[in-house]
Amino acid sequence: MGTSPDIHADDRRLVSSVLRQGDEGAFRELYRRHTPRLLGFVTRLLAGSSDEAEDVVQETWISSCECLNRFRGDSAFGTWLHGIGLNVVRERLRRETRTHLVPMDDLTPAVTPEVRVDDRIDLERSIQALPDDQRFVLVLHDIEGMKHREIAERLGIPVGTSKFLLFRSHQALRMLLSSVKETEHER
């Protein structure tokens, strides 16, 4: 998340230009600047579904345009945009009525028989195998660098639950990765 203060100020200037003058060039610059990272973030939250992630990114930008006048600049524009993206993902998953809690015993490695040793499962695929709640906390904490307090606020959960879900996600990742390693060793 290490962007310079100059970028933050420039983002605020671009947002202001979009709001005051309807500056399409300023909007394009914001889109160009923030979409790649937003797409990666959303893809991780959706367990690697790239088509669905692209839809969510578009929905996120539409939502952000509708409420752009509420961007106060207290946080970085990218952080604000990621918050909207997180909400869009959560709403989409709610609509799909996906299961959010999966017992540890139900986790199985995402390995198929045709996977060769040199095509080994990587960390991204392991993250994709996590239950939604664990994946969200892991991505927000370990990848986006958020503190548990921020995660709890964003997800509407207690801080202790955020810490527990991170612990469980780390356990599950170790289990998945060691299982993959054992499977490859047996080949």
- b/e code 135-169 from CB counts within 10 Å (16+ = b): bbbbbbbeebebebebbbebbebeeebbeebbebb
pLDDT for the residue numbered 112: 38
Report the predicted TM-score, pTM, of the whole model to 2 decimal places.
0.72
Secondary structure of residue 121 in the 3-state scheme: coil
C-alpha span between 32 and 35 (Å, rounded) = 6
pLDDT for the residue numbered 124: 77
Please check whether residue 38 is in contact with residue 82, taking contact to mean a CB–CB distance below 8 angstroms: yes
C-alpha span between 148 and 163 (Å, rounded) = 7
pLDDT for the residue numbered 155: 93
pLDDT for the residue numbered 18: 92
Domains and CATH numbers, the chain: 1-98 (1.10.1740.10), 100-187 (1.10.10.10)
pLDDT for the residue numbered 182: 65
Each residue's pLDDT tens digit, 50-87: 889 999 999 999 999 999 999 988 889 999 999 999 99
Which residues in the chain show pLDDT less than 50? Answer: 1, 98-121
Measured in whole angstroms, the distance separating CA 90 from the mean position of its chain's CA atoms is 10
